[in-house]
């Protein structure tokens, strides 16, 4: 395995170990300590339960007491816990003031969810870590991608450049672009492999990217747009939507700006005939689930069989819902001219059958390298845009930081 790939995997492991150490709840890390450090919210009052878009259990809550919430970012990996019970992994959808919502990665709500003493705590994002390690491990199996990897890390001759003076378009949609912006757009349009667009804040990088994407779309190209944060993805998405580009914003809808939400799969299907059909299926599933839960823990063989049959029917209905959603999401993905999301949001969106002409990553300086490799395989041409003086991505592990994981 290439030494730098080994190095990146070691850094991921260091970061994962640091997260696990910070967030674990044991004799050395009491609940009181975790609450004082701002990594646990407890106790919670559950105000609403529902099954969300992908049919995962979703829970609304309010905090019984004021708590430190700065570390609880939308989309953070969490665990829902109660003393004496097995914790359940999930994701924080949103948190504002004393109220919030989270999603559980489980087929159903735990029996104890509305009991006293329920809380949530931050958890290591093991899923993202495992995706990054899987992608890095398979890099050498993709000859063209591994060749790019070696060029970037100077193991092979340099990357292909573009003579932008010869390539500047004759016309632009945006009439207020300056010379350097026009040259950057030309470099993107004639990109042969990888193109870097950099400049400090206020130099119009996002404006430049939006114009370049419009030109690519007008030329019949399909574009993937990414950024390391949901806020950055939504920022460029809002600019693109103003131009009339057919954009689909993928990822966790709970983390998407309200202005962009109608352009997510959930938003596009919200008032459709399909959604009404899904709503009816969900009502049926909930009715079967309620019937199954009427049977208490001490019941005979006949009751147990009936309960199992009811739960099996619930599972079958949920499978049908997922198949319906998947079919319609695939149609939306094919119809979109631009698909935008964070690297993991895009990786999860089922895009492997779609051919993208260009991948554009905004705020690239904030993106750790393994995340970028998660989406590099989607397109033959890559644009990295950002400010090289910008603060580096957040890394918790001192050892990983010293090893250059945030560079």
Question: Any idea where the domains of the chain sit in the sequence?
Answer: 3-127, 142-246+337-402
> pTM of the prediction?
0.82
Using CA atoms, how far residue 4 sits from 69, 116, 126, 252, 403, in Å, is: 36, 49, 21, 31, 11
Question: Which pair of structure tokens corresponds to residue 348?
Answer: 């999860």
Alpha-carbon distance of 211 to 213, in angstroms, equals 5
What one-character DSSP code corresponds to residue 191?
A: -
CA atoms within 13 A on the CB side of 206: 14
Residue 98 in contact with residue 63, Cβ under 8 Å? Answer: yes
Strand ranges (DSSP E) for 26-150? 40-41, 44-51, 57-63, 77-81, 88-96, 99-104, 119-122
Measured in residues, the chain has a length of 407
Task: Classify the C-alpha dihedral 205-207-210-216 as positive or negative.
Answer: negative
Say if domain 3-127 classifies as CATH 2.40.30.270: yes
Q: Residues 6 or more apart from 345 whose CB is under 8 A from it?
A: 233, 250, 251, 252
Q: What is the pLDDT of residue 94?
A: 84
- Own/partner pairs, 105-111, CB within 8 angstroms, 24+ separation: 105/56, 106/56, 106/57, 107/315, 107/318, 108/57, 108/289, 109/49, 109/57, 109/59, 110/80, 110/85
21 contact partners, CB below 8 Å, separation of at least 6: none
Q: pLDDT tens string for the chain (407 positions)? A: 999 999 999 999 999 999 888 887 765 678 888 998 899 999 999 999 988 766 789 999 999 988 888 889 877 889 999 999 999 999 898 888 899 999 998 888 998 999 999 999 999 888 899 999 999 999 999 999 999 999 888 877 666 655 566 578 878 999 999 999 999 999 999 998 899 998 888 788 999 999 999 999 999 999 999 999 999 999 999 999 999 999 999 998 777 888 999 999 988 887 778 878 888 888 888 888 888 777 665 567 777 788 888 888 888 988 888 888 888 889 999 999 999 999 999 999 989 889 999 999 999 999 999 999 999 999 999 999 998 777 788 888 899 988 888 87
* Predicted local confidence at residue 113, as pLDDT: 94
pLDDT at 254: 73
pLDDT at 306: 83
CA 320 to chain centre: 24
**What is the pLDDT at residue 253?**
79
**CATH class, range 142-246+337-402:** alpha beta
Write phi, then psi, for 228 (nearest 5 degrees).
-70, -20
Give the model's pLDDT for residue 97.
87
- The answer, yes or no, to whether the previous bond of 43 is cis (omega within 30 of 0) is yes
């Amino acid at each position: 395995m290439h030494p730098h790939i080994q190095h990146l995997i070691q850094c991921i492991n260091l970061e994962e170990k640091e997260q696990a150490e910070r967030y674990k709840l044991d004799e050395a890390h009491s609940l009181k300590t975790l609450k004082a450090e701002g990594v646990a919210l407890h106790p919670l009052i559950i105000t609403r339960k529902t099954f969300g878009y992908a049919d995962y259990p979703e829970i609304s809550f309010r905090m019984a007491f004021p708590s430190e919430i700065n570390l609880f970012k939308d989309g953070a990996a969490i665990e829902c816990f109660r003393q004496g019970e097995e914790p359940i992994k999930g994701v924080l959808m949103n948190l504002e003031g004393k109220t919030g919502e989270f999603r559980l990665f489980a087929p159903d709500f735990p029996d104890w969810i509305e009991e006293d003493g329920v809380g949530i705590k931050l958890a290591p994002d093991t899923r993202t870590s495992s995706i990054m390690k899987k992608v890095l491990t398979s890099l050498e199996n993709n000859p063209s991608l591994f060749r790019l990897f070696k060029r970037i890390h100077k193991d092979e001759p340099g990357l292909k450049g573009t003579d932008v003076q010869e390539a500047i378009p004759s016309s632009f949609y945006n009439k207020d672009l300056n010379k350097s912006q026009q040259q950057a757009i030309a470099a993107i349009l004639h990109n042969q492999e990888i193109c870097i667009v950099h400049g400090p804040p206020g130099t119009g990088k996002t404006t430049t990217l939006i114009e370049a994407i419009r030109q690519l779309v007008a030329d019949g190209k399909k574009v993937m747009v990414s950024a390391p944060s949901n806020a950055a993805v939504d920022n460029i998405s809002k600019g693109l939507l103003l131009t009339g580009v057919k954009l689909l914003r993928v990822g966790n809808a709970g983390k998407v700006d309200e202005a962009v939400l109608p352009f997510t799969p959930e938003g596009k299907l919200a008032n459709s005939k399909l959604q009404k059909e899904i709503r009816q299926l969900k009502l049926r599933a909930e009715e079967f689930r309620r019937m199954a839960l009427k049977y208490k823990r001490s019941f005979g063989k006949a009751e147990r069989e009936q309960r199992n049959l009811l739960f099996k029917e619930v599972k079958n209905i949920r499978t049908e819902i997922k198949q319906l959603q998947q079919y319609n999401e695939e149609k939306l993905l094919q119809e979109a001219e631009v698909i935008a999301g964070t690297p993991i949001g895009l990786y999860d969106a089922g895009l492997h059958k779609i051919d993208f002409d260009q991948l554009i990553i905004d705020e690239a300086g904030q993106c750790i390298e393994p995340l970028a490799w998660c989406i590099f395989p989607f397109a033959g041409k890559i644009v990295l845009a950002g400010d090289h003086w910008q603060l580096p991505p957040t890394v918790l592990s001192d050892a990983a930081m010293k090893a250059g994981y945030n560079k």
